[in-house]
Structure 1
């Protein structure tokens, strides 16, 4: 039986990568903010709820985080009212 010879593929040309300007995606928030404090344990809660707490920057009882007043933050706070205390600060 004859064996098939491997055909060498042409070498790929090196292409110079374009420099991409990095945009600042986070803007400084100057409006109202929420001060969020975790007051109850995360033991025994659903994984999705734990993920929400983590996204709010809360891990342990007594943790405090300041978050901007935006719709997505308000939605996360509405999911976990039984675990946190919220106070509004600013304008």
Structure 2
């Protein structure tokens, strides 16, 4: 059960990460969802944090702690991106 929760949490981390990398480097053009990949971590990583915390309660290991930190950092990315853009480029 622990391994399934960790795998789901990592999957929910990598899906928005792939969309963000695609957003910045424009590997595949998605014209209809232009800015939406920046906000995907709010949904996906919150669910990933739930599964990672469940896995951490079952078994405390470095793997579960790393997935919690990874999901938390990616969850905070939209806020950092918007605040940083406002500070650098103005309102």
TM-score with structure 1 length normalisation? 0.27
TM-score with structure 2 length normalisation? 0.27
- The structure with more strand, counted as a fraction of residues: 1
- The structure with more helix, counted as a fraction of residues: 2
Larger Rg: 1
